[in-house]
């Protein structure tokens, strides 16, 4: 350093750069205007580095391009509209995949990537590009560029990197603040929404914490109790109940926080001293901070209580009747039941009082009863009778006949029902229906399968179906035989749980192998008139062909995934790096290498080229299904002409003789079929031996398919190797003997299989080779 002081010459570039970073950092903390910050940043950096251009590139959400969001120095109209791709051949794409800043000495000669139109149209020569944001989730790229050659210093690179970090922090802070504002807006709307709901609820609603303090309540609580909002906010929850109820109320609150839920009845004590009976349902929840709270709803049950007391006087009248008798209110809650009704249901009378009718009967029966009552109101029927089932306390279903009527009391309409157990009658009816069903022919010709009925001993009672005819199994061999006698032990152990499940009301679907067939089986319960399960049904479908197709499809997909993954993730990027640096070595150190070094380098370059060919082949193999065209009528003669045009030079140089028989029209993908012909013809030329290739192409009809053959008189294939040649990268000869990647025949097989055909080879060593494949004929 010389002795000139900083005060004489002004701050050094490094100090000025630090000042710019600090100034922009302060601006980033103060402003929410990202566009202004980005513009000011571009101006400040271009001035500090004496660069003609500065840019802020924003990465599109899909990651395939970047937008020139802000910048200085660019032509009018470019900022805000210009884009660049992010592939590896572009500077932006290269930067996004680099952990370190990317310095360009001369864009015109840089071989790592090519300059986009944005840079070349502005005569950019040198520059620095860095990622904005984390490497694994970049927001974009910040860069500066000059139109003349510039050797940037380490401090310049650090300066640009720090600037990118300032932008990244500002972008992250702005996005975080935006999300917070959005969350607050949504929370505000949600509070308005819930407040509206609570205001519309007639029942009492409240939220209390573990100390018993009210956190939230609706207007109904103030209207019922007579207390103001301010008074409720300062009261303990037990203060709304009489002194004798304080202990039980506190216990109920503790129960909610301990178990999560409770339902109790208690009387609310109003400010005026009145006691109103209420039913409360409370649930434990968590507030936004994760603190446990109790949310409860209370309903006035005054009318229900009064009706219960009024109807109690009728109980003594009906206790001596053998049939079950009940009285229900408008809400279909039982207000009175006699002992016979309680005995029928298995519940105590106390359990039934206040219980809803759905505890015993289903919704369908309730709807049917409502229709009967409506008809009764118009005198269409005087004494409606309904048959349904009652679910007892033990879970049993008892068939009953209900005769009901309605009467009006001061509190409203009441429903009286007389319930008679008709189990014995239903049992007789069920036995009759079951007997009739046993002798009814279930199925005579069940298509593409079989069907059978079996009892609880898993013995077949009925059997039939087309599959049994195909297997030459007469129904006599099945009916009366259990699965234990019919099937092998291992198959019985496999299917028995599915057969048994139907008697628990379950249906099962499963697959089995039997008689060299792959079968799809269904077991399902068969119910009688009382909805009782009295048999199981077995339905079988032959899915052998479907299963084989599914297996082939799964294998194909698995190969596709393996190859696509290897090509796109494990091979492409390392190979690109190897090729790039080998080329760099070859150019920069050409005069340094001795003869051996040049030979070794040539081997390495050749290996990289071969690897690229293999990757390209893999990608082509993986895209056969995904990028193929729909199968349409195709003239194979035209397809073969295109293939021979592509091989014109090869055919002439080898002095090949190609003869072609008339070829048909088939359903296929013209481009892929051309690839098949081209690969097979190329193989015939390559492996022709010392004599000029003699190749013949022929076609022969085979039902709804055409069998195409390509025969040569070349060196042939060892018969033990014919299966291996269709595997990916399998070669029977060294690369020195015959060029190629070893994927051509695998491509042919994949294409033919996509067309629903097969490909195979007939050959012996030294006796020529014939490749044959099938294709679907046109309609």
Q: What rounded mean pLDDT belongs to the chain?
A: 83
pLDDT of 729: 55
**Distances, alpha carbon 626 to alpha carbons 557, 587, 655, in Å:** 10, 40, 38
Examine the pLDDT at 73 and tell me if it is beyond 50. yes
Q: What is the DSSP letter of 495?
A: H
Same domain (yes/no): 19, 148: yes
pLDDT of 563: 60
pLDDT of 474: 86
The answer to whether residue 457 sits within a structural domain is yes
The answer to whether residue 396 sits within a structural domain is yes
Same domain (yes/no): 527, 588: no
Examine the pLDDT at 402 and tell me if it is beyond 70. yes
pLDDT of 313: 64
The predicted model gives 624-634 an average pLDDT of 81
d(CA 745, CA 725): 7
The answer to whether residue 627 sits within a structural domain is no
Same domain (yes/no): 343, 432: no
Taking the CA atoms of 33, 36, 41 and 44 in sequence, report the sign of the dihedral they define: negative
The answer to whether residue 189 sits within a structural domain is no
The predicted model gives 39-55 an average pLDDT of 93
Residue with tokens 């040198």: 126
pLDDT of 68: 93
The predicted model gives 502-517 an average pLDDT of 90
The predicted model gives 51-62 an average pLDDT of 93
Overall number of domains in the chain: 6
The 3-state DSSP class for residue 775 equals strand
Same domain (yes/no): 35, 161: yes
Global pTM?
Answer: 0.34
Same domain (yes/no): 129, 245: no
Q: Are 529 and 429 in contact (CB under 8 A)?
A: yes
Q: How far apart are the first and last CA of the chain?
A: 89
Residue with tokens 């909610």: 256
Instruction: Burial-class residue 21 by CB neighbours within 10 Å (0-12, 13-18, 19+).
Output: buried
Same domain (yes/no): 611, 688: no
**Final residue in a domain of this structure, among 386, 421, 456:** 421
Same domain (yes/no): 538, 552: no
Examine the pLDDT at 639 and tell me if it is beyond 90. yes
Q: Where are any strands of DSSP class E within 475-532? A: 508-514, 517-527
Residues 6+ apart with CB under 8 A from 346: 392, 393, 394, 396
The answer to whether residue 290 sits within a structural domain is yes
CATH number of the domain residue 115 falls in: 3.30.450.40
**Final residue in a domain of this structure, among 622, 655, 684:** 622
The answer to whether residue 496 sits within a structural domain is yes
Q: Tell how far CA 257 is from the center of its chain.
A: 37
For residue range 450-473, list pLDDT tens digits in order: 888 899 999 998 888 778 888 888
Give 5's pLDDT tier (boundaries 50, 70, 90): very low
Q: Residue 430: which of 360, 534, 506, 276 has the closest Cα?
A: 534
Examine the pLDDT at 53 and tell me if it is beyond 70. yes
The answer to whether residue 277 sits within a structural domain is yes
pLDDT of 2: 43
Angle formed by the axes of helices 636-646 and 670-686, to 10°?
50
pLDDT of 432: 46
The predicted model gives 183-209 an average pLDDT of 76
d(CA 496, CA 536): 12
Same domain (yes/no): 507, 573: no
Q: Which of the residue ranges 7-16, 37-46, 263-272, 310-319 would you say has the lowest mean pLDDT?
A: 310-319
d(CA 126, CA 110): 10
The 3-state DSSP class for residue 659 equals strand
pLDDT of 617: 63
**Final residue in a domain of this structure, among 388, 421, 454:** 421
Examine the pLDDT at 736 and tell me if it is beyond 60. no
d(CA 171, CA 499): 63
The four Cα atoms 707, 712, 718, 724 give a dihedral, to 10 degrees, of: -50
Q: Which tokens go with 350?
A: 């106390």
**Distances, alpha carbon 367 to alpha carbons 112, 316, 358, in Å:** 78, 30, 11
Q: Which tokens go with 566?
A: 């290897």
Cβ-count burial 687-710 (b if 16+ within 10 Å, e if not):
bbeeeebbbbbbbeeeeebbbbbb
Domain containing residue 472: 427-542
d(CA 84, CA 596): 43
Q: Are 329 and 307 in contact (CB under 8 A)?
A: yes
Higher-confidence residue: 178 or 596?
A: 178
pLDDT of 425: 79
Examine the pLDDT at 26 and tell me if it is beyond 80. yes
Q: Can you spell out the DSSP letters for 186-216?
A: HHHHHHHHHHHHHHH--SEEEEE-TTSBEEE
Examine the pLDDT at 705 and tell me if it is beyond 80. yes
Q: What is the DSSP letter of 90?
A: B
Q: Are 759 and 748 in contact (CB under 8 A)?
A: yes
Examine the pLDDT at 588 and tell me if it is beyond 80. no
Q: Are 732 and 725 in contact (CB under 8 A)?
A: yes
Same domain (yes/no): 296, 317: no
The 3-state DSSP class for residue 711 equals strand
Same domain (yes/no): 750, 679: yes
The answer to whether residue 89 sits within a structural domain is yes
Q: Residue 129: which of 104, 155, 165 has the closest Cα?
A: 104
What are the backbone dihedrals phi and psi of residue 148, each rounded to the nearest 5 degrees, phi first?
-125, 165
CATH number of the domain residue 345 falls in: 3.30.450.20
Give 504's pLDDT tier (boundaries 50, 70, 90): very high
pLDDT of 3: 40
Same domain (yes/no): 614, 636: no
Same domain (yes/no): 263, 322: no
Q: Are 104 and 91 in contact (CB under 8 A)?
A: yes
């Amino acid at each position: 350093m010389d002795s000139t002081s900083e005060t004489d010459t002004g701050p050094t570039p490094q100090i000025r750069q630090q000042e710019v970073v600090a100034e922009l950092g302060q601006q980033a903390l103060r402003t929410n205007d990202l566009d202004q910050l980005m513009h000011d940043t571009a101006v400040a950096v271009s001035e500090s580095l004496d660069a003609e251009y500065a840019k802020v590139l924003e990465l599109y959400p899909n990651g395939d391009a970047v937008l020139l969001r802000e910048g200085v120095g660019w032509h009018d109209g470019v900022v805000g509209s210009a884009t660049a791709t992010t592939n590896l051949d572009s500077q932006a794409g290269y930067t996004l995949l680099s952990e370190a800043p990317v310095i360009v000495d001369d864009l015109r000669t840089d071989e790592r990537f090519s300059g986009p139109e944005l840079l070349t149209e502005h005569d950019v020569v040198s520059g620095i590009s860095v990622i904005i944001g984390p490497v694994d989730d970049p927001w974009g790229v910040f860069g500066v560029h000059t139109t003349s050659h510039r050797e940037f210093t380490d401090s310049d690179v650090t300066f640009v990197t720090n600037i990118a970090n300032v932008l990244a922090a500002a972008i992250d802070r702005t996005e975080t603040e935006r999300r917070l504002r959005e969350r607050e807006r949504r929370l505000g709307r949600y509070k308005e929404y819930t407040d509206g709901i609570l205001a519309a609820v007639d029942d009492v609603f409240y939220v209390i914490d573990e100390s018993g303090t009210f956190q939230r309540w609706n207007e109904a609580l103030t209207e019922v109790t007579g207390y103001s909002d301010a008074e409720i906010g300062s009261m303990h929850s037990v203060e709304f109940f009489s002194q004798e109820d304080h202990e039980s109320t506190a216990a109920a609150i503790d129960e909610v926080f301990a178990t999560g839920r409770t339902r109790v009845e208690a009387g609310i004590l109003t400010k005026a001293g009145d006691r109103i009976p209420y039913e409360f349902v409370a649930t434990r929840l968590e507030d936004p901070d994760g603190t446990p709270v109790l949310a409860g709803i209370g309903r006035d049950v005054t009318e229900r209580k009064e009706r219960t007391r009024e109807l109690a006087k009728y109980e003594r009248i009906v206790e001596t009747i053998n049939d079950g008798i009940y009285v229900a209110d408008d809400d279909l809650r039982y207000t009175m039941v006699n002992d016979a009704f309680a005995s029928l249901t298995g519940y105590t009378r106390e359990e039934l009082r206040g219980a809803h009718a759905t505890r015993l009967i289903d919704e369908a029966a309730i709807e049917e009863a409502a229709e009967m009552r409506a008809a009764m109101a118009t005198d269409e029927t005087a004494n409606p009778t309904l048959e349904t089932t009652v679910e007892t306390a033990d879970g049993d279903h008892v068939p009953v006949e209900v005769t009901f009527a309605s009467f009006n009391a001061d509190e409203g309409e009441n429903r009286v029902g007389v319930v008679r157990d008709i189990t014995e009658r239903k049992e007789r009816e069920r036995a009759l229906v079951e007997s009739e069903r046993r002798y009814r022919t279930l199925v005579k010709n069940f298509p593409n399968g079989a069907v059978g009925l079996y009892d609880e001993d898993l013995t077949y009672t009925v059997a039939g179906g087309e599959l049994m005819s195909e297997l030459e199994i007469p129904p006599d061999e099945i009916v009366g035989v259990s699965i234990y006698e019919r099937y092998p032990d291992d198959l019985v152990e496999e299917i028995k749980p599915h057969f048994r499940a139907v008697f628990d009301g379950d249906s099962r679907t499963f697959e089995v192998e039997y008689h060299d067939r792959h079968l799809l089986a269904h077991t399902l319960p068969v119910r009688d008139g009382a909805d009782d399960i009295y048999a199981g049904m077995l339905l079988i479908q032959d899915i052998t062909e479907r299963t084989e197709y599914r297996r082939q499809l799964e294998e194909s997909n698995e190969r596709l995934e393996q190859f696509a993954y290897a090509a796109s993730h494990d091979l492409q990027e390392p190979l690109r790096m190897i090729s790039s640096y080998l080329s760099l070595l070859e150019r920069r150190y050409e005069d340094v290498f001795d003869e051996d070094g040049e030979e070794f380098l040539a081997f390495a370059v050749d290996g990289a080229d071969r690897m690229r060919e293999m990757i390209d082949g893999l990608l082509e193999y993986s895209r056969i299904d995904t990028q193929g065209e729909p199968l349409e009528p195709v003239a194979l003669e035209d397809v073969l002409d295109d293939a021979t045009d592509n091989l014109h030079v090869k055919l002439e140089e080898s002095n090949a003789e190609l003869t072609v028989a008339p070829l048909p029209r088939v359903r296929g993908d013209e481009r892929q079929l051309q690839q098949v012909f081209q690969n097979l013809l190329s193989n015939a030329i390559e492996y022709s031996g010392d004599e000029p290739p003699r190749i013949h192409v022929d076609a022969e009809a085979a039902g709804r398919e055409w069998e195409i053959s390509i025969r040569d008189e070349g060196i042939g294939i060892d018969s033990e190797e014919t299966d291996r040649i269709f595997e990916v990268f399998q070669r029977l000869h060294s690369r020195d003997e015959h060029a190629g990647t070893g994927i051509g025949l695998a491509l042919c097989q994949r294409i033919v299989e996509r067309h629903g055909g097969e490909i195979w080879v007939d050959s012996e060593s030294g006796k020529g080779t014939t490749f044959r494949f099938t294709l679907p004929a046109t309609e």
